[in-house]
Structure 1
Amino acid sequence: MHPPVVLVTNATAPDKLGGLERYVRELAAALVRCDVPTTIVAKRLSPDLPPIETGDDGVTVVRHAVPAKRSPLFAVQYPYRTRSGVRTAIDRRPGTVIHGHFPVPMLAMLGPGRSRRPYLYTFHAPVHQELLTERQGTYLLPRPLQRPAVELLRRAEAAVVGGATAVTVLSEYMREQLAQLAPQAADAARLIPGGVDTDWFSPPRQPQPDTEPLIFTARRLTPRTGVVECIAAMPAVLARHPGARLVVAGDGHLRTTIERQISSLGLEGRVDLLGRVSEARLREGYRSATLTVMPTAELEGFGLTTAESLACGTPVLVTPVGANPELVGDLDPRFVARSGDPADLADAMIRLLDNRAVLAAARRALPGPRVQSWSWPVVAGHYIELYARQAWSRS
């Protein structure tokens, strides 16, 4: 029988629907399907959410309380409240393998005066670099505190990584990022790619009709994800392909800015913002698209949108940023734009839309063996192997 596992993270789906949140929940569900009892420990995002619940997927979620984001003392109180909540949840579950996915809650494993329990840590991204761009507008962080907060978070990440029994990364790009934080951990880290539900994200049974170009992307509306640059590229694309349309699934603090951008560029009816969408609508977006675009401006630990689209049989144009080039490495080199600049994105989109033979060849090659290596049964199996290795020393 496999030892029980506790996944420690910041937040989990469906409470929040970002890439990390979906990854942790889907990994937990995959582990349960492999007969591994699995609990997620995450923060409680709303008073309406129960402190403890078990979902239809068999995953138990334990939510700990955190201070309100708009509290002037949020930045001070949050680490201590989080550490206390996580520590309590873990102490109530002795004999479990601990698998961390976010640095701040994992500080609970480093407290003085307690017997140290071994833990595995997956380095998804350097969170300290995302602090200002990804979390902007979600809590009060006065400008004088920004640089110290980033440095404190960097040190926390380094301590968490350094204290892990084993570390995994989702891509070689993320190994490079980890090397800047903890070189020895990066050298020893094992690469286990992100997971995709390849039963759900799969090609349509019937080929899509050859219609006007439909470009799709699923991105948080933040500076890092490059949605602003992608939309800025659309006037040039439309000059070449007047019937083209860009559909964006996702939400974020830049939505109002992007809505104004669409209006100022005269792109109403050519660019659609869907906001948050269901899994069914997301899959439909991938399947119906002529081309998916991942216009990442900075950081991309794995590239979930890229992986899901490829699993659905739709090729993806990516920027040469983060792990995305690794994911499309089996496709034509033209699926990697020169940069995330709007002009380069436009040029890459136009070249692909002009050459439907390249798109058709890519569709015939997908999903392919590489995509199958990202399926959750395969990914969960790699982790179960690691859990078994450290189970002997857990307390």
Structure 2
Amino acid sequence: MAGHNGLGGSGRRAPRAWLYGGSRNGFGAADDSGGLVPHIRRVAMLSVHTSPLDQPGTGDAGGMNVYIVELSRQLAALGIEVEIFTRATSGALAPTAELAPGVLVRHIDAGPYEGLSKEELPAQLCAFTHGVMQIWAGERPGYFDLVHSHYWLSGHVGWLAAERWGVPLVHAMHTMAKVKNAALATGDTPEPAARVIGETQIVQAADRLIANTAEEAAELVRHYDADPRRTAVVHPGVNLERFRPGDGRAAARARLGLPPDAFIPLFAGRIQPLKAPDILLHAVRELLDADPSLRSRLLVPIVGGPSGTGLARPERMQKLAARLGLADLALFRPPVAQAELADWYRAASVLVMPSYSESFGLVAAEAQACGTPVIAAAVGGLPVVVRDRDTGFLIDGHDPADYARALRRFADRPGLSERLGAAAARHARGFGWDATAADTLAVYRAAAEARRFARAGAGLGSV
């Protein structure tokens, strides 16, 4: 179905930035109708709780870090300067760091450098906001044209900054407390009421909300009473230069020292109940119980570090593997740089992503761009990223037996990985960050145009 995967009937990708409750692109096409398009020169990008310079896959660093880095780089390529404000986590950090030409990272002192969990950060938002305002006060008037905040903590800083500077606020939730709480993994901790209240306030305050998928936009409307006319859908992207099939599976396995003929289901991501790597291990146990002969050619890499509630029991997955009799098959590796991560994707027979909640699923998109099919939970944005039975398989629910059946398809038919992987690589080519940046810029301009009209209307009303 065309609406399911974002493709029109011709097979070409349809325009991806559109207002959830509006027209095709939702922006009034001011440039097509002869009106002036608002000029965005410099954006303040806010990421309080995690730095774009952190290694994805551990701590609180994950898909959002990748999102901010790649989006900022592409915006800079379009001629827009981006300054990213994030909390300093070490006294050794320089006040500023250049991420890329046109992209500056500013480290803000707010609370102790180390030992603060994400749950403790709300108490530091005043200090963080003060640091942002101090930097702004040292610049000329009108220095920033727009604020783009990421995650609810940043949204509160962005709300105050945008009001003080008289510029639009564009906010991206990335995850939502009400959505996460509705699909908690066993043993996971619910998001607190304070976050729910904070998110509700940001939804009402933002000039525009950016959702990764139409499903996420619908959740914003359903759970937070978001205005559909101010909610835009922009799919995240994939770095298609880094994540590509390259020289193939055999070469990637040789570089990583993996057996050339093994069946390798891969998990890559943060090790926490939300991401459900335990389901993969339980599924492998069921697979072996059904066919013990697979053991001689099976290897299960788990690439990533503890995060979130997983930090409380960092050895949980290793202990589970031992308890299930899989200690000799499970290969635990810490987070790796993206160039090496691409090799892990290429080396895998299939990526397994049994998450309880995903706003989009960048890991699945990256793996597919490398030519690797995906077995994923049919949650959040994953049905947009993974085309069921074409680039992989979507699983309803989190029963390990269902994942074991999907794994058995690949184990029994080695050619399936190649066939679905080729389709996956083609599908992923529609998710370039250049398109994401162009669509995001359209959202920025729409927010600026709406604010300009509102000011003009207020002026007429006072006459």
Q: What TM-score do you get using the length of structure 2 for normalisation?
A: 0.75
Show CA shifts across 1:187-212 (max 9, x none): 64221111110111001234648722
- The answer to whether 1:218 aligns with 2:268 is yes
How much identity, in percent, do the aligned residues show? Answer: 21
CA distance in structure 1 between the aligned counterparts of 2:202 and 2:217, rounded to whole angstroms: 16
| Deviation of 1:364 (Å) | 2.7
After alignment, is 222-231 or 198-207 more displaced?
198-207
- The answer to whether 1:170 aligns with 2:208 is no
> Equivalent residue for 1:232?
282
| Deviation of 1:320 (Å) | 1.7
Q: Is the 8 A contact 2:375 2:394 kept in 1?
A: yes
Q: What TM-score do you get using the length of structure 1 for normalisation?
A: 0.86
Matched letter for residue 268 of structure 1: A
- Measured on the aligned residues, the alpha-carbon RMSD in Å equals 3.1
What secondary structure sits across from 1:336 in the alignment? strand
What secondary structure sits across from 2:284 in the alignment? helix
Q: Is the 8 A contact 1:13 1:22 kept in 2?
A: yes
Label 1:90 to 1:125 Cα distance change in 2 as closer, same or farther (>3 A).
farther
Which residue of 184, 194, 201 maps to 1:152? 194
Which 5+ residue runs of structure 1 have no aligned equivalent? 138-145
| Deviation of 1:110 (Å) | 3.5
Show CA shifts across 1:27-75 (max 9, x none): 1111112221111111112222222121345420012122236579946
> Equivalent residue for 2:223?
181
What secondary structure sits across from 1:61 in the alignment? strand
| Deviation of 1:382 (Å) | 0.8
What secondary structure sits across from 2:278 in the alignment? helix
- The answer to whether 1:39 aligns with 2:78 is no
Equivalent residues in 2 for 1:59-98, closer than 5 Å: 59-68=103-112, 70=115, 74=120, 77-90=123-136, 92=138, 94-98=143-147
> Equivalent residue for 1:142?
none
| Deviation of 1:13 (Å) | 2.4
Which residue of 257, 269, 283 maps to 2:328? 269
Higher relative contact order (CA 8 A, sep 6+): 2
CA distance in structure 1 between the aligned counterparts of 2:267 and 2:153, rounded to whole angstroms: 30
- The answer to whether 1:282 aligns with 2:341 is yes
> Equivalent residue for 1:192?
234
Matched letter for residue 65 of structure 2: E
| Deviation of 1:290 (Å) | 0.8
Equivalent residues in 2 for 1:78-157, closer than 5 Å: 78-90=124-136, 92=138, 94-111=143-160, 114=164, 116-127=166-177, 150-157=192-199
CA distance in structure 2 between the aligned counterparts of 1:54 and 1:232, rounded to whole angstroms: 44
Q: Is the 8 A contact 1:246 1:271 kept in 2?
A: yes
| Deviation of 1:244 (Å) | 1.3
CA distance in structure 2 between the aligned counterparts of 1:386 and 1:332, rounded to whole angstroms: 32
- The answer to whether 1:204 aligns with 2:246 is yes
- The answer to whether 1:328 aligns with 2:386 is yes
Matched letter for residue 310 of structure 1: Q
Label 1:174 to 1:152 Cα distance change in 2 as closer, same or farther (>3 A).
same
Matched letter for residue 7 of structure 1: M
Q: Is the 8 A contact 1:27 1:380 kept in 2?
A: yes
Which residue of 357, 379, 395 maps to 1:299? 357
Q: Is the 8 A contact 2:351 2:372 kept in 1?
A: yes
CA distance in structure 2 between the aligned counterparts of 1:221 and 1:233, rounded to whole angstroms: 17
Q: Is the 8 A contact 2:147 2:158 kept in 1?
A: no
Q: Is the 8 A contact 1:51 1:64 kept in 2?
A: yes
CA distance in structure 1 between the aligned counterparts of 2:145 and 2:440, rounded to whole angstroms: 14
| Deviation of 1:98 (Å) | 1.2
CA distance in structure 1 between the aligned counterparts of 2:234 and 2:116, rounded to whole angstroms: 38
> Equivalent residue for 1:316?
374
Show CA shifts across 1:157-187 (max 9, x none): 1111211111111112322331243233356
- The answer to whether 1:248 aligns with 2:302 is yes
CA distance in structure 1 between the aligned counterparts of 2:358 and 2:337, rounded to whole angstroms: 23
Aligned length: 383
Show CA shifts across 1:85-107 (max 9, x none): 33444555633221111222221
CA distance in structure 1 between the aligned counterparts of 2:425 and 2:392, rounded to whole angstroms: 18
Q: Is the 8 A contact 1:40 1:60 kept in 2?
A: yes
> Equivalent residue for 2:406?
348
Q: Is the 8 A contact 2:271 2:304 kept in 1?
A: yes
CA distance in structure 1 between the aligned counterparts of 2:116 and 2:76, rounded to whole angstroms: 37
Which residue of 54, 61, 64 maps to 1:15? 54
| Deviation of 1:281 (Å) | 1.5
Matched letter for residue 160 of structure 1: I
| Deviation of 1:217 (Å) | 1.8
